[in-house]
Structure 1
Amino acid sequence: MTLNEAMAEFGPSWLRVWLPLLMLGGFVAPVVLIFWSKTRVIGIISIVASLIAAFAIDYMYKQMGYVKLLGLPHIIIWTPLIVYLIMQNRRHDFPTWPKRILTFMIVIIGISLVFDYVDAVRYFLGNTMPLVMYDPA
């Protein structure tokens, strides 16, 4: 079973709404930022960070199964990213739309980090049992 299948089958029902929003904030919005020269680097950094986190989460799933600790790559990678995004969003030389997109990214990544931190604390407090193990078949 893949991670996407595990989340669809064993995750809460609201996850089906949340995951597309997370993809918008973590992958689509940064791609849009590339179109403005002043936010191009921000978009590229955000895309690279999200790709690294996604690959790390997939690797962890294959090693550990569907556990609460899967958000750890988000915590490690997105915590500094959100600080960077907040600092960049305070600049006054960006057009209106890039600032709106940055704000959207900050909100989505921030919400995700709240879930990830809560899940990581739960994991470290003993909730280590996987809901499902990775099955390559």
Structure 2
Amino acid sequence: MTLQDALATQPAWVQVWVFWLVIGAFVLPLGLLIWRRTRIAGIATIAASVVAGMSVDWIFGQLGYVRLLGLPHIVFWSPVAIYLFLLQRDPGVPARAALLIRVILITITISLAFDVTDVLRYALGDRAPY
């Protein structure tokens, strides 16, 4: 079974969320490459998302579909979320870029809330597959 197969067994809202997560963490950050002031944020977000995705796939290959899959998101997206939060408040960032950053930041933050909960549950002994 692949990770995509495992995700297909989840409720519809989880599948919709994962679809949005791909948009919010991989596609929307490409828009940040438009403005000089936000290019580093775009590159950092895309890089963190790619590395987190590869890490999730690796953990899935080792352990299966378990709550620990959120750990790479916590490790790689937390610093990006802090950076994006600070950047969107910078008055030198164009308004459209700031709006895009906020959408990306909200997406990542919601994911991190799920991920922290899942990883804590895993650490407290909930090791059953989803």
TM-score range, shorter chain: over 0.9
For 2:120, the equivalent position in structure 1 comes to: 121
Gaps of 5+ in 2: none
Give the Å deviation of 1:38: 1.3
Give the Å deviation of 1:35: 1.3
User: How far apart in 2 are the matches of 1:16 and 1:65?
Assistant: 18
Instruction: Please show how residues 27-46 of structure 1 align to structure 2 within 5 Å.
Output: 27-46=26-45
Instruction: Please show how residues 1-137 of structure 1 align to structure 2 within 5 Å.
Output: 1-9=1-9, 11-131=10-130
Calculate the TM-score normalised by the size of structure 2: 0.96
1:126 partner SS: coil
1:29 partner SS: helix
Instruction: Return the structure number with greater relative CO, CA threshold 8 A, min gap 6.
Output: 1
Give the Å deviation of 1:62: 0.2
What is the alpha-carbon root mean square deviation over aligned residues? Answer: 0.9
Gaps of 5+ in 1: 132-137
12-21 vs 76-85, which moves further:
12-21
Aligned length: 130
Give the Å deviation of 1:130: 2.3
Calculate the TM-score normalised by the size of structure 1: 0.91
Structure 1 residue ranges (4+ consecutive) displaced by more than 6 angstroms after TM superposition: none
Give the Å deviation of 1:4: 1.1
1:14 partner SS: helix
% identity of equivalent residues: 42
